[in-house]
Structure 1
Amino acid sequence: MLNPLPLSPLETRQQQLIEANRLEYGYRYDLLNFADKDRLATAKAERRELLQWLEQHAAFGYAGTKVDCTSLSPGCRHCGDGGWSCLFVNGRCNGQCFYCPTPQDDSGPPVTNGLAFIDPDEYADYVAKLGFSGVSISGGEPLLTPDLSLSFLRAVRKRCGEKIHLWLYTNGTMLTADLCSRLKDAGLDEIRFDLGAVRYNLKKLRLAIGSIPTVTVEIPAVPEDEELLKLKMVEMAEAGVKHLNLHQMRLTPHNFAPLTARGYTFLHGEKVTLLESELCALRMVRFGLEQGIPLPVNYCSFTFKRRFQLAASRRRAALSICGSSESVTEPGFLRTLTATDVSYSETALLQSPSYRAPFDKIVLASGRSLYLERRPLSLEPELSEDELTALQDGKPPERLAGFERIESGLADYF
């Protein structure tokens, strides 16, 4: 009997991701309709054709994980550049979107990256001390608590001045002309509507046109709504919408039932995503360009979120703790390089230290301390002379690539 051929590094990584997906969903994993060999081949061919066309007519950015980057909204630029802080001002929503990835019944305090902020001035000081260039207010539905949302907007604007870009996410159902005026007076630069909650009705969105400087629509790419969205793109452009952002839908334990009931095809990866959603988004970008619709469409892939948003969070913490003998890599890891070996650490910003790793403190004006913890990673390989030279020249050996470079391109289909 012949021994099976050893797996390549890519195949090994894919098997690890499949097992992680299986572990996350347990017995329900077998209920998922993953793409078989034939469906994968068809999907790869379609995506390849779409990407080849888009490469000639659109701008790819962020290592090929985001398209079209020709005219991104200001908030998207701050996010992509790593300068974004998102405050979830509440965890409650009045919408019933089937694709929502999380429960919307949390009445806890405002939170960002696991840090709770009850006092708007304290959050504004955190934003200033960490050097963020953009802040978004999200939920839940932040307009369910308008006074709370406004208090955070005002505090950040007062503390950080005009240099900070402020935006807010909403389904629009609670928006009024008076509230638009109050948001404008609080310094809001951009408002983003998830119109999926109202079946793409633009009535409430129109209240913001001419009041808030940038009006953006940000929705998941729902495959069965593709033809409706094509019609709505024209309506959005005529209404004065500046940007349309399309997200890739993903599966979570919370939306498992409604997504599986719709017969979608799922893809393995760092998290389980929807095949049809990515293809729908790419077709929509192409459609807008082919038709000359004056509405920039941006596909924000789940791959972008996993690679760039996580890297930005790591990098911000790492830069705050980086020593003179260290450097921060593109994915945001702290690198310590000696004459013979290299080691990496990951940093985390915490409300309280774990006491399992070294940490530094950031003291806010209120007297509250936040803790920057340095978590050593196990890898400490010795380097050959050639590897050391290559690393210093910005050409890391393959075994270190994940610590040194953000992987390029959209996620593989497997």
Structure 2
Amino acid sequence: MLLQQQHIESNRREYGLQYDLLTFANPEQLIAANSERKELLRWLGLHAAFGYADTKVNCSGLSPGCRCCGDGSWSCLFINGHCNGQCFYCPTSQDDHDGPPVTNGLAFASPEEYAAYVAALGFSGVSISGGEPLLTPGLTIDYLTAVRKRCGDSVHLWMYTNGTMLTADLCNRLRDAGLNEIRFDLGAVRYNLKKLRLAVGCIPTVTVEIPAVPEDEALLRLKMVEMAEAGVNHLNLHQMRLTPYNFAPLTERGYTFIHGEKVTLLESELCALRSVRFGLEQGIALPVNYCSFPYKRRFQHAAARRRAALTVCAGAEAVTEAGYLRTLTETGVRYSEAVLLQNPSYRHPFEKITLETGRSLYLERRPRTPELELTVAERSDLEAGCPSGRLVRFERI
């Protein structure tokens, strides 16, 4: 109950006066939704593989890119910040980035520098996102080519697109640049598969990745059959969430919101779970994966922390599952976080990393706790891999 109240207070701070415009689920709605959700999860538990602390549903047929993400070995490069789509559910601004491509707050104006970064940190997967990457096709292809040239076949390359700018010639150029997988947001084109069909047989893996839009559920069921017949390899459904950028269109549609670490849509998760079940019940030859917001929040954030921590970990330190650096002392334990930066803040200890291109990056160690005194029992439990309650958030995902 305390955690729920913390979430409510955090969400209220994020939206300020607009918070009172949101319609949250009432007790009766929550009881009904939880009952349906419980039954869906019970059925899916018998017929589908769950993974990642049960935050992903139907994991037996994940795309290669999704497996890289789950392993925590994925870098996503935002090639531009402009999009020609008008998706009401888009959670981010699409008109405010005119600078160089960025990933995790690091800008890379040179394709070769980004490729060197990928190699230095040992990523096994790289995706190109936006904006819309095909608004700048030459730039997108330059970065794909550089990573493939530097890393060879050790890296799986994929790209997100709404497909509106795709042509047969561009498909061939993307393939020749080393693209392994292409992901279409068909919601941007009302689920029209015309441009997607250009990629089938050209790009090795064709995936559809869309939010689970509640009012489109019946249409989605029809399109799942069409996707399978068209040669789509994977369908990823995301849970819709509220952000300051999509606040107006989402509230205008009368959705029911629920509290968590962020505000999400009650109807979206139920739509996604029903769609996964439908695909399995009907025997549709299309793996459907539900990627929940808790998965994104917990596993993707932990992966970013862990990647930096492994680079700087030394001596008696250990990197926890949650991606923090753990330092045991004679009397207790303390946790810190490694953060990769373009320039040091000079507020915390840091180490310089020099890429093979000569570019310098900085790993800064930021304390996340003071030294926490441990009882004999707590130390014993921690060393046995069973951290006490107050340590769990730093130890477990």
TMscore range, shorter length: over 0.9
Aligned to 2:82: 92
Q: Separation in 2 of the partners of 1:338 and 1:24?
A: 38
Equivalent residue number for residue 315 of structure 1: 306
- Residue 190 in structure 1 maps to residue 175 in structure 2: no
Task: Please list, as runs of the form range in 1=range in 2, the aligned pairs for 1:319-398 lying within 5 A after superposition.
Answer: 319-398=310-389
Pair 1:48-2:48 in alignment: no
Deviation, 1:387, is: 1.1
Give, in whole Å, the separation in 2 of the partners of 1:145 and 1:354: 33
Partner AA of 1:92 in structure 2: H
Supply the AA of the counterpart residue of 1:215.
Answer: V
Please state whether the residue corresponding to 1:70 is helix, strand or coil: helix
Instruction: Give the aligned partner of residue 35 of structure 1.
Output: 25
In the alignment, the residues of structure 2 paired with residue 82 and residue 405 of structure 1 have an alpha-carbon distance, to the nearest angstrom, of 14
- Which consecutive unaligned segments of at least 5 residues does structure 1 have? 1-10, 407-414
Counterparts of 1:264-279 in structure 2, within 5 Å, are 264-279=255-270
Shift of 1:379: 4.0
| 1:60-107 C-alpha deviation (Å, 9 max, x unpaired) | 000100011011000000001000000000000000000011111122
Q: How does 1:196-345 map to 2 (within 5 A)?
A: 196-345=187-336
One-letter amino acid of the counterpart of residue 64, structure 2: P
Q: TM-score, normalised by structure 1?
A: 0.95
The answer to whether 1:123 aligns with 2:123 is no
Q: CA deviation at 1:365?
A: 2.1
Aligned equivalents of 1:91, 1:45: Cα separation in 2: 41
Distance in 2 (CA, whole Å) between partners of 1:235 and 1:77 is 25
Question: For structure 1, which segment, 113-122 or 370-379, has the greater mean C-alpha deviation from structure 2 after superposition?
Answer: 370-379
Q: Deviations over 1:256-303 (max 9, x none)?
A: 000000000001111111110011000000000000000000000010
* Separation in 1, partners of 2:2, 2:191: 42
The SS at the match of 2:365 is strand
Where has structure 1 moved over 4 Å in runs of 4 or more? Answer: none
Q: Is the 1:216–1:243 contact (alpha carbons within 8 Å) kept by the matching residues of 2?
A: yes
C-alpha distance in structure 1 between counterparts of 2:19 and 2:25, whole Å: 13
Identity of aligned residues (%): 75
Report how many residues are paired. Answer: 396
Give the superposition deviation at 1:193: 0.1
Are residue 132 (structure 1) and residue 132 (structure 2) matched? no
1:82 aligns with 2:38: no
In structure 2, how many angstroms separate the alpha carbons of the residues matched to 1:341 and 1:167? Answer: 44
Contact 1:14 1:269 in 2 (8 A): yes
2:14 to 9, 24, 49: 24
1:294-336 per-position Cα deviation (integer Å, ceiling 9, x unaligned): 0000000010000000000000000001011100000000000
Residues 340 and 388, structure 1, Cα contact 8 Å, conserved in 2:
no
Q: CA deviation at 1:344?
A: 0.2
1:339 is paired with a residue whose SS is coil
Deviation at 1:364, TM superposition (A): 1.3
Q: In structure 1, what is the equivalent of residue 392 of structure 2?
A: 401
What amino acid maps onto 2:158 in structure 1? W
Whole-angstrom CA distance in 2 between matches of 1:130 and 1:159: 13
Name the aligned partner's letter for residue 210 of structure 1: G
Amino acid across the alignment from 1:96:
Q
What code does the residue aligned with 1:269 have?
A: G
1:173 corresponding residue in structure 2? 164
Deviation track 1:190-244 (CA, whole Å, cap 9, x = no partner) reads: 0000000000000000000000000000000000000000000000000000000
Give the drift of 1:346.
1.0
Q: Secondary structure at the match of 1:375?
A: strand
CA RMSD of aligned residues (A): 0.7
Measured against aligned partners, the alpha-carbon deviations of 1:84-141 in whole angstroms (never above 9, x if no partner) come to 0000000000000000111111222100000000100000000000000000000000
TM-score under structure 2 length normalisation:
0.99
CA contact (8 A) 1:66 1:300 kept: yes
Which letter does structure 2 place at the counterpart of 1:187?
G
Aligned mates of 2:121, 2:388 — CA distance in 1: 32
Partner residue of 1:13? 3
Counterparts of 2:128 and 2:25 in 1: how far apart (Å)?
37
Is the contact made by 1:221 and 1:277 (CA closer than 8 Å) also made in structure 2? yes
